Amino acid sequence: MKVIRAKSAGFCWGVERAIDIAREYATRGKRPVFTDGPLIHNSQMMEKLESEGIREVGDYLSQTPLELGLEDDTQKRNAVMVVRAHGISPVRRVYLKSLGMEFRDATCPDVGTIAGHIKLHARKGYTTVIFGDPRHPEVIGLMGYTENRGHVINTEAGIDALPPLGPKVCMVSQSTMFTFEFEHLAQYLKRTYPAALVFNTICGATRERQSDVHVLAQQGAQAIIVIGGRHSANTVKLAALVERQNLPCYHVETAAELDLGHLGKYTTVGVTAGASTPGYLIDEVCQKLAQL
């Protein structure tokens, strides 16, 4: 079997940066290194980080109060709270800083840029429309910058259901969405709000991964394997994009999930992965396929 590996498969720079920040503290002897919710959306990598002294606390959405189990001020001084790559709301930031330990922000700079757009325009009286998943932690964090003038949409029907937004409207996107969907919905929004300011904030890593799916198809892949967490937004989007190419898609988290008997009917298979998928998991999948 010929295995074609997408050039973009593996950690994006924002994820790699967040992991490096947490590991730096653990290496220096900070104990424990807390992350408010999963630092990244890959359970295998989070288990690996936990073995290195990096401990996930709280919930998936970074909304609940934290039970840290620190008994005195000395323990707090030795601990550090690292903000997840997806970012958090300003209210959550204040709460985490109030816990009495060192605070380090590992928010992806691309997400920080989106927050900056929202914050700047909210101060000028703009209502923000965010294209994204309302239950995704990135979007929940971004909504905190809208000064209670934010709305999340992901369909034309969602735009139709919006209340009157007033004369000042700006639109941004969750960083891991489809570019073509954002552009379509931005034009749809402008039918009602022609003066709306539109900022395409889908990150470069997401665009590159989406483009590489097309490249794999052009290179002759008869099926494409997408590696990554099933709760990873950008990984799920990649799998959906493969299906849009009318190619069989196999979404797996590890090589153990590969159905080799079924995959054996293909002579050429493409492999890509989400932005939170570590390289060693991709290597294991490619090696197992190459043995067919």
Is the C-alpha dihedral spanning 137, 141, 144, 148 positive or negative?
negative
Region 157-174: mean pLDDT is 98
DSSP 81: E
Split at pLDDT 50, 70, 90, the class of 135 is very high
Instruction: Return the number of other C-beta atoms located less than 10 Å from residue 38's C-beta.
Output: 24
Q: What is the distance between the alpha carbons of residues 154 and 186, in angstroms, rounded to a whole number?
A: 11
Confidence of residue 29 (pLDDT cuts 50, 70, 90): confident
Q: How many residues appear in the chain?
A: 292
Dig out the tokens for 121 from the structure: 């325009």
> Is pLDDT of 211 > 90?
yes
Domains and CATH numbers, the chain: 2-10+204-290 (3.40.1010.20), 13-109 (3.40.50.11270), 110-198 (3.40.1010.20)
Annotated active-site residue 138? The verdict is yes
**What confidence tier does 116 reach under pLDDT thresholds 50, 70, 90?**
very high
Mean pLDDT within 185-204: 98
Q: What percentage of residues in the chain have a pLDDT greater than 70?
A: 100
Cα–Cα dist 217/224, whole Å? 8
- Quick one: average pLDDT of 157-172? 98
Predicted local distance difference test score (pLDDT) of residue 268: 97
For the whole model, what pTM was predicted?
A: 0.93
- Residue 38, pLDDT score: 95
* Per-residue pLDDT tens digits for 85-113: 999 999 999 999 999 899 999 999 999 99
Active-site residue, selected from the candidate residues 138, 208, 243, 257: 138
Query: What share of the chain in percent tops pLDDT 90?
Result: 89
Judge whether residue 74 has pLDDT over 90. no
Averaged pLDDT for residues 167-189: 97
> What is the side-by-side order of every strand in the sheet holding 54-57?
54-57, 33-36, 80-83, 102-105
- Summarize the confidence of residues 33-41 as an average pLDDT: 95
Q: Does the structure show a pLDDT above 90 at 69?
A: no
pLDDT of residue 73: 77
- The pLDDT, as a whole number, for residue 83 is 97
| Confidence grade of residue 231 (pLDDT, cut at 50, 70, 90) | confident
Which pLDDT does position 67 carry in this prediction? Answer: 87
Q: What is the pLDDT of residues 118-130, one digit of tens each?
A: 999 999 999 999 9
Give the range among 28-32, 33-37, 227-231 with minimum mean pLDDT. Answer: 28-32
Q: What is the mean pLDDT of the chain?
A: 95
Answer for the pair 95, 118: CB distance below 8 angstroms, yes or no.
no
Check residue 70 and give its pLDDT.
Answer: 82
Residue 122: C-alpha distances to residues 6, 127, 143 (Å)? 39, 7, 11
Amino acid at 218: Q
Listed in sequence order, the residues at least 6 apart from 180 whose beta carbon sits closer than 8 Å to its beta carbon are none
**pLDDT at 71 > cutoff 80:** no
Q: Which residue do the tokens 């969907």 mark?
A: 181
State how far the alpha carbon of 43 is from the alpha carbons of 119, 152, 223, in Å. Answer: 32, 27, 25
Q: CA-to-CA distance for 12 and 36, rounded, in angstroms?
A: 20
